[in-house]
Amino acid sequence: MMDTLLQASDGWRAQAEVFSEIFLVFVAMGTVVGVVVVAYTLYHAYEYRDTGKETEEEFDAPQVGELPSGQGGGKSKKLFVSFGISAVIVISLVVYAYTLLLYVEAGPTSEVETEGDMDIQVTGFQFGWEFTYPSGQSEFGTLRVPADEDQVIRLHITSDDVWHAFGVTDLRVKADAIPGETSEEWFIADEPGTYTIECFELCGAGHSQMTGEIVVMEPNEFNEWYNGTYDPSASTQTVGVSA
């Protein structure tokens, strides 16, 4: 049910895109609020500067234990309005971010599986990664997937020995690899490229060398590779490290 509610009308969105959107929205809102606050502060600093013309009786000095604007009238109104606006902004951002995080957390499960989605078994071991495709074919160190914005890659992650943590920073993918348990993650790769896999859980002397790659290939080249007919020398694709 949650998957259906959170799925976009035109398909699932890549996690990296979702997190980038959250970041940009918070930066934009923070910039707007910062500009308003600074402008408001500078205006009042200028408007209520000491001109030397006020008498001691006219000077409205703040009192200890009392809010400066808590004198009633318009000042109190401005205080509550500013608190109200702040509350609306904060609550809106929390609801917005939480909704998108639910989208990422729930993800596309087998209940909403569409044709072409791929389930891959990921097994961590000291000190490497094994990837098993639906066909039963296994690869060590390199996971190859097709570049397709409509295809979801689901990972079922576990470990053969100790705790590991499978992570791909550029794809915003991370999940624990625990012996006897299976963690689920997913991603969408819409452009050809190479992404670095790292282990984010200290797992022994070779932890720093426990790396791998996700190679995102053109769909036709992936199909050729998957069927055992791929010729790398004939490929025109240039694969580079993703920024």
- Is residue 241, in this structure, part of any structural domain at all? no
Question: Do 124 and 227 belong to one domain?
Answer: yes
Number of domains present in the structure of the chain: 2
| Beta strand pairing call for 153-159 and 118-125 | parallel
Statement to judge: residues 95 and 139 lie in one domain: no
Q: Which of 173, 177, 180, 154 minimizes the C-alpha distance to 165? A: 177
pLDDT for res 149? 82
| Interval 186-196 mean pLDDT | 90
188 & 90 share domain: no
Residue 207's domain comprises 116-231
Which of these three, 106, 134, 154, is where a domain ends? Answer: 106
**Do residue 93 and residue 192 come from a single domain?**
no
Examine residue 242 and state whether it is found in any structural domain, yes or no.
no
Residue 242 pLDDT > 50 = no
pLDDT at 114 over 60: no
Mean pLDDT of the chain: 81
- Taking CA atoms, 242 is separated from 196, 206, 223, in Å, by 9, 25, 22
132 and 174 co-located in one domain? yes
Same domain, 59 and 141: no
The pTM assigned to this predicted structure is 0.64
Instruction: Please tell me whether residues 202 and 154 are part of one structural domain.
Output: yes
Residue 150 lies in a domain: yes
